[in-house]
Each structure stands twice: as C-alpha cells, then as structure tokens.
C-alpha cells in the first residue's frame, strides 16, 4: 500500500507541476484551482488522516497492568474461549470478561475465516486459520453483550453468534475461582 500510494502521490504532483506552469486567464480560475482543487482536498485528507491516527492509537492493544487475556477459537458454527488467568477453564459460546478492565482477545480459526464482532464493545476483526489476531475489548458496565460472526463463512453463518458477559470486579474473581477445575 505504501508503494501504491507513493506512486499515486508522485503522479498527482507531476500533474500539479504541469498545471502550475500555465498561467490562469482570470482570477476565478485561480480560486477554483487553488481553493477547491488543492487546499480543500488537502484539508480533508489531513483531517481524515489525523482522525484515523488518533482512533487507531486509541484502539491499539498496548500493555496495561490489569490486562486480561483470552484465547478465542472459531469453527463452523461455534466459539471456544480459554482464559489465561484460569488455565483449563474453557467456555463455549459465552465469553466472560471483567467490567472496567481491558481484555485482549487472541482470535484464530480452525477451519475458515470468521469474524469476531461485539458492536457495543469493539470493532470487527477476522479470525483466520493459522494466524492470531488480537482485539482489545473493554466493557464499562457489567452486563451481557451480543456478539456475532459478520463474515460469510458458509451456509449457516447467520446463526454463528456468541455472547459476552461482563462481570463486576468482585464477581470476576468468583467466576475464575468457581469455574476453575
């Protein structure tokens, strides 16, 4: 993408240089060229780039002292969740997380590409066979949140759903101790 966008940038700059060599006949042409042809698109592109960088930085999984790690494994038509804080603990179709703490979910798949999407907690990220993608979740309040696989992965994908249950801090420790074999 860097090479492609760099090539396009150089091409546009060459066209701009060619256009600047000609002297505009009237002042309105100069306004249209500079104002709406150069300044406006550059302002929009700069704004979108800045917004993307700020949003991307906010969503990036960065180290946190109270981080919870979960492994999510997708298959047609089920999700399996394993918890780093409780070795041996496995849940199916229901992801448990603590409310008010960041959770890194390591996503992978055993068969085809699936997507992990909890609209109220985070964006969508694909689970790809043989590859691990990491998604940061964070629930501000305890409660249940609906999740789905929003990637077409064969007949029956519309029923490929799961839930996320965010526990209050005291309930989270109870869950880990009570479910740990």
Residue 102: both structure tokens together: 């960041």
Superfamily per CATH, domain 68-179: Cupredoxins -  blue copper proteins (2.60.40.420)
Residue 91's pLDDT is what?
95
Are the C-beta atoms of 94 and 80 separated by less than 8 Å?
no
Beginning with the edge strand found earlier in the chain, give each strand of the sheet holding 143-148 in spatial order. 94-98, 161-167, 143-148
What are residue 105's DSSP bridge partners?
A: 70, 135
For the stretch 115-156, pLDDT in tens is 999 999 988 999 999 999 999 988 999 999 999 988 887 777
Residues 21-59, buried b or exposed e (16+ Cβ, 10 A)?
eeeeeeeeeeeebeeeeeeeeeeeeeeeeeeeeeeeeee
Residue 63: both structure tokens together: 């180290």
For the stretch 40-63, pLDDT in tens is 888 888 988 998 888 777 766 667
Residue 3's pLDDT is what?
74
What are residue 82's DSSP bridge partners?
A: 71, 90
Residue 30's pLDDT is what?
66
CA pair distance 163, 175, nearest whole angstrom = 16
For tokens 């055993």, the residue is 110
CA pair distance 76, 160, nearest whole angstrom = 8
The domain limits of the chain are 2-59, 68-179
Residue 181's pLDDT is what?
44
CA pair distance 63, 102, nearest whole angstrom = 10
Instruction: Give pTM, 2 decimals.
Output: 0.67
Rounded to 5 degrees, φ, ψ at 149 are -95, 115
Residue 180, pLDDT > 60, answer no
Rounded to 5 degrees, φ, ψ at 81 are -120, 130
């Amino acid at each position: 993408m860097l090479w492609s966008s760099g090539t396009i940038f150089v091409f546009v700059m060459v066209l701009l240089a060619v256009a600047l060599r000609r002297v505009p006949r009237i002042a309105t042409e100069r306004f249209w060229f500079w104002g709406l042809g150069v300044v406006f698109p550059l302002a929009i592109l700069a704004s979108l780039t800045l917004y993307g960088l700020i949003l991307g930085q906010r969503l990036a999984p960065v180290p946190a002292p109270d981080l919870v790690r979960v492994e999510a494994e997708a298959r047609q038509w089920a999700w399996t969740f394993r918890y780093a804080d409780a070795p041996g603990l496995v849940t199916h179709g229901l992801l448990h997380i603590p409310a008010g703490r960041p959770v890194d979910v390591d996503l992978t798949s055993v068969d085809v590409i699936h997507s992990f999407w909890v609209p109220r907690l985070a964006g969508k990220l694909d689970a790809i066979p043989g590859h691990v993608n990491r998604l940061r979740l964070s629930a501000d309040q305890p409660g249940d949140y609906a999740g789905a696989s929003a990637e077409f992965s064969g007949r029956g994908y519309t029923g490929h759903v799961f839930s996320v249950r965010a526990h209050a801090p005291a309930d989270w420790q109870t869950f880990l101790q009570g479910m740990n074999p």
